[in-house]
């Protein structure tokens, strides 16, 4: 009996799949933070920025559940509401969250500097562009045309509620690959500003690129970031890079503007038979 084995993929990168907030739009990933902060304030429970950011990248109903499960928030909710939060509360909070999130996304829909140039580079090299997000479909109805007006139209867009499980499960990225008609997962790059988004890419078998400065790990608006001293920037950058590397990201960059160099390096590694 004889067997034939397919050689390891040695071709170029064929697709890049991006997160939205903090990765391609909304420098600092502030739209979700503003919405979650307002939501809990409406329910007499103040949450910190760290608490709001901790589950970032997750499907938004799950994000709410994880915030409520935090010991300090759990105690604050009990004090304010007179009982522990249950599924009915989570469902109500999610329904109240949707219009808040739509509003903050509308205010934070500008492409991150350098994004358009990166998209043009990918298109020039025949690399398909996909997107996925913890946002629900109704949350990005206005975002998609706003992004298109700026020149960003991903060929595939997947929202967490469209798949059985959101991040860190690989379902969204795999759905992107199906829609983009990708033959090999090894030829795909997943770009994300959250640790859970990197886990998603690793679980899908992709190359993963963490976005450190423009996204959730630093969490500052562009103006706030530029106002920092070089020493302050380097400290925040270093902490973010370390967290992504500890999570297993193959590469870490400041922002999407730095992605072309990563693509070139991955192409060299693939040509030598390396795999993610």
- DSSP label of 1: -
**Residues 169 and 124 placed together within one structural domain of the fold:** yes
pLDDT at residue number 5: 56
- DSSP label of 55: T
Q: Which residue has the higher pLDDT, 195 or 3?
A: 195
**Residues 158 and 198 placed together within one structural domain of the fold:** yes
How many angstroms separate the CA atoms of 21 and 144, rounded? Answer: 12
Task: Report how many domains make up the chain.
Answer: 2
**Residues 185 and 78 placed together within one structural domain of the fold:** no
Q: Model confidence at 8, in pLDDT bands (50, 70, 90)?
A: confident
Q: Model confidence at 73, in pLDDT bands (50, 70, 90)?
A: very high
**Boundary of a domain, candidates 78, 107, 136:** 107
19, 26, 192, 258: the active-site residue: 19
**Residues 46 and 84 placed together within one structural domain of the fold:** yes
**Residues 178 and 224 placed together within one structural domain of the fold:** yes
Q: Model confidence at 136, in pLDDT bands (50, 70, 90)?
A: very high
235 flagged as catalytic: no
**Boundary of a domain, candidates 107, 131, 158:** 107
**Residues 115 and 103 placed together within one structural domain of the fold:** no
**Residues 19 and 39 placed together within one structural domain of the fold:** no
The CATH number given to whatever domain includes residue 212 is: 3.40.50.1000
**Structural domain for 57, as ranges:** 31-107
**Residues 207 and 115 placed together within one structural domain of the fold:** yes
pLDDT at residue number 4: 54
Q: Model confidence at 32, in pLDDT bands (50, 70, 90)?
A: very high
**Residues 131 and 265 placed together within one structural domain of the fold:** yes
Q: What is the DSSP string of 118-172?
A: HHHHHHHTT-EEEEEESS-GGGGTTHHHHHHHTT---SEEEEGGGSSS-TTSSHH
- The three-class DSSP label of residue 17 is strand
Asked if residue 5 belongs to a domain, the reply is no
Q: Model confidence at 140, in pLDDT bands (50, 70, 90)?
A: very high
Asked if residue 74 belongs to a domain, the reply is yes
| Best CA proximity match to 218, nearest among 201, 200, 233 | 233
**Boundary of a domain, candidates 73, 107, 141:** 107
Burial 31-41 (b: 16+ CB within 10 A, else e): bbbbbbbebbe
207-211 and 128-133 strand pairing: unpaired
**Residues 90 and 26 placed together within one structural domain of the fold:** no
The answer for 205, left when phi > 0, alpha when psi is -120 to 50, beta otherwise, is left
pLDDT at residue number 1: 52
6, 34, 60, 146: the active-site residue: 60
**Residues 23 and 141 placed together within one structural domain of the fold:** yes
Residue 133 has pLDDT above 60, yes or no: yes
Residue 9 has pLDDT above 60, yes or no: yes
- Whole-model pTM? 0.93
**Residues 99 and 36 placed together within one structural domain of the fold:** yes
19 flagged as catalytic: yes
pLDDT at residue number 7: 72
Q: Model confidence at 99, in pLDDT bands (50, 70, 90)?
A: very high
Average pLDDT, integer, range 46-68: 96
How many angstroms separate the CA atoms of 116 and 113, rounded? Answer: 8
Asked if residue 9 belongs to a domain, the reply is no
Residue 265 has pLDDT above 70, yes or no: yes
Q: What is the mean pLDDT of the chain?
A: 96
């Amino acid at each position: 009996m004889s067997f034939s084995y397919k050689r390891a993929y040695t071709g170029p990168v064929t697709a890049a799949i991006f997160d939205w907030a903090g990765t391609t739009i909304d420098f600092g990933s502030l739209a979700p933070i503003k919405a979650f902060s307002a939501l809990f304030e409406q329910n007499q429970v103040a949450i910190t920025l760290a608490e709001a950011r901790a589950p970032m990248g997750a499907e938004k109903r799950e994000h709410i559940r994880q915030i409520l499960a935090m010991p300090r928030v759990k105690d604050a909710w009990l004090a304010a509401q007179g009982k522990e939060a249950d599924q009915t509360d989570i469902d109500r909070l999610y329904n109240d969250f949707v219009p808040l999130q739509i509003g903050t996304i509308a205010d934070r829909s500008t492409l991150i500097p350098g994004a358009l140039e990166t998209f043009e580079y990918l298109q020039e090299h025949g690399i398909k562009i996909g997107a996925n997000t913890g946002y629900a479909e109704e949350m990005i109805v206005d975002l998609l045309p706003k992004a298109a007006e700026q020149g960003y139209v991903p060929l595939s867009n997947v929202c967490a509620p469209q798949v059985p499980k959101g991040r860190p499960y690989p379902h969204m990225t795999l759905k992107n690959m199906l829609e983009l008609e990708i033959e090999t997962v090894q030829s795909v790059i997943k770009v994300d500003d959250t640790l859970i988004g990197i886990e998603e890419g690793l679980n899908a078998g992709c190359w993963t690129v963490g976005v450190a400065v423009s996204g959730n790990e630093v969490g500052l608006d562009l103006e706030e970031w530029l106002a920092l001293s070089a020493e302050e920037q380097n400290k925040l950058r270093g902490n973010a890079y370390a967290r992504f590397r500890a999570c297993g990201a193959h590469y870490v960059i400041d922002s999407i503007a730095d992605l072309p160099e990563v693509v070139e390096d991955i192409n060299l590694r693939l040509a030598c038979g390396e795999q993610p």
